[in-house]
Chain A
């Protein structure tokens, strides 16, 4: 197992390098640039700015310098659009925000999703199943750009209980609505994958044997069925967790949380090359780490698995 983990971590290095190169190629190939504006800059001025940010260098040199600065100084450079900020600064400020609401949303989605999925599976095709599945779907059926405004309409404008936006260091009243808006879309997915795989497990030989032996249902589910049934959910949860803690552009933009979710879209629209690379590498590293974690959990839950 240890060699497996070490090997995977070793493979991560070329993976990240390939990711960096592909991303740079895509960025350079796309039309526009960080300093293009409605009013084109005079050529002299443009030349000064490009020289300042090293954009006048050949593409290969730019990529090399970028990697070099990360390896030697852990320096991800200044933001091209937000000139007062560095990429590390923006991420250091925004990542804790999305990590906070993302983790809460994840916890909510997993707890309720798994519970609803199990209940629905155990009472397959009864009203309990329909109610559980229906409510899981109902929670997530609204796209989050509709759900967000709706939550604000109800909890801010009508009830006056919660503020409609801002973060203010993550005080609880500012966290609730973003968590609600983010969690629901994942909840249904988890519930339905859980239901599906739970059904498969419940119909398998060893559970039937256990039931035939007259073991109590609760014990069968908790002791025997849950563990194998959770496997496919895990495959889904790895990437889902990364997506949640890196935030959602809709949530960040709508609730003005200051999280990093918005940079995935805005930085790309602004052609803010350094910020794009920063968040891309962050997602890349997290994806690799959490997919590795999922694989480890797989092997732990099902010892027969060999990679």
Chain B
């Protein structure tokens, strides 16, 4: 355990932004050179504009049921500019445009919160476990094994029963599960990174373990972390509809892409129903995922310290 001189520590912190800035400028330049990634980023921005600004364009409230359209959806609830139902109506006779806007907004939030938790908690947990190794690693990883195996539904049901339903509980439910896979991946990568020369050099010069993890290990994990985080986004969006099924989380009249897609899919895919009820929400889901994936890959390439 090296004692740190507060002065050097302060100067070190002070120099960080400068170094960071050049690293980030570099990364930005490389990211913008990647055409697929920039196009995907543009798509993401458009989706975000839709999700947060679409409400101003919608002609109807998302919970308003048009009783004149219920049951005769197929003939009257079709997407149309004249009726103001741009995306048609859903099975309950509500405006699908307003619902898709709100659902996209919520699902974006869920995907981002879920992967943020995974990135922060999972990466740190995995890096610490892998770096410290030995008994600590063994205990920390057995905890992950257990959490991966427990009947998670009961955790969600208990959250509902004890705390009641709210958006916060939904995020907690998502966050609790999202970081486990990330932790294992980060730990596995750390095992190989910690044998690299630059880490050994840092250890030899007496840098504190936490500093080594934050300064040397985590930056080298970023590539895989970014990629895995984008993989989590669709998983979390779908997972949300399951959590809502249990009663924790999104409740009518609020909705999410996951529940819009599943109710659309059940209506459409045996040849009947109203196809737009599936296609509009599915389009936004697919577009979001493609965009996130390409942005993720672009970010990874841009952040790769060796890729110059």
Do they bind each other?
A: yes
State whether the Cβ of A79 lies closer than 8 Å to any Cβ in chain B: no
B185–A287 contact, CB under 8 A?
no
Contact B269 A149 (CB under 8 A): yes
Chain B nearest CB: distance from A55 CB in Å?
Answer: 17
| Distance (whole angstroms) from the CB of B223 to the closest CB of chain A | 5
Is there an interface contact between A291 and B145, defined as CB atoms closer than 8 Å? yes
A27 within 8 A of B: yes
> Among B34, B151, B278, which residue has the most Cβ atoms of chain A within 10 A?
B151
Report the minimum CB–CB distance from B59 to chain A (whole Å).
28
Asked whether, in the complex, the Cβ of B185 is within 8 Å of the Cβ of A29, the reply is: no
The residue that B269 contacts in the complex, of A130, A152, A280, with Cβ under 8 A, is: A152
A145-B297 in contact (CB<8A)? no
- Determine the chain B residues whose CB is within 8 A of the CB of A130 once the complex forms: 36
Q: How far is the CA of A18 from the CA of B227 in the complex (A)?
A: 33
Nearest 5 pairs of A and B residues by beta carbon: A235-B188, A149-B269, A26-B154, A284-B149, A203-B306
A156 to B136, CA, bound (A): 53
Q: Is A260 an interface residue (CB 8 A)?
A: no
Q: How far is the CB of A156 from chain B (nearest CB, A)?
A: 10
Assess the A268–B151 pair: CB atoms within 8 A. yes
* Tally of A interface residues using CB under 8 Å: 65
Q: Among A11, A124, A141, A239, point to the contact of B301 (Cβ < 8 A).
A: A124
Bound CA–CA A280/B155 (angstroms):
14
B188 to A232, Cβ gap below 8 A? yes
A304–B195 CB distance below 8 A = yes
Q: Given the known A-B contacts A15-B142, A141-B289, A302-B192, are A149 and B151 also in contact in the complex, defined by CB atoms under 8 Å?
A: no
Closest to A205 in B: B306
* B231 pairs with A192, CB closer than 8 A: yes
In Å, the complex CA distance between A219 and B289 comes to 35
Judge whether A231 and B153 touch: CB under 8 Å: no
Whether A283 contacts B158 by the Cβ 8 Å rule is no
Q: Would A23 and B271 count as touching, CB distance under 8 A?
A: no
List A contacts of B125 (CB < 8 A): none
- Mark B264-297 against chain A: 1 for CB-CB distance below 8 A, else 0: 0100011100000010001001100110011011
**Does any Cβ of B come within 8 Å of A294's Cβ?**
yes
CA distance A145 to B268 in the complex (A): 12
* B290 contacts A232, C-beta separation under 8 Å: no
Query: In B139-181, which residues have CB < 8 Å from any A CB?
Result: 141-142, 145-146, 148-151, 153-155, 157-158, 161, 180-181
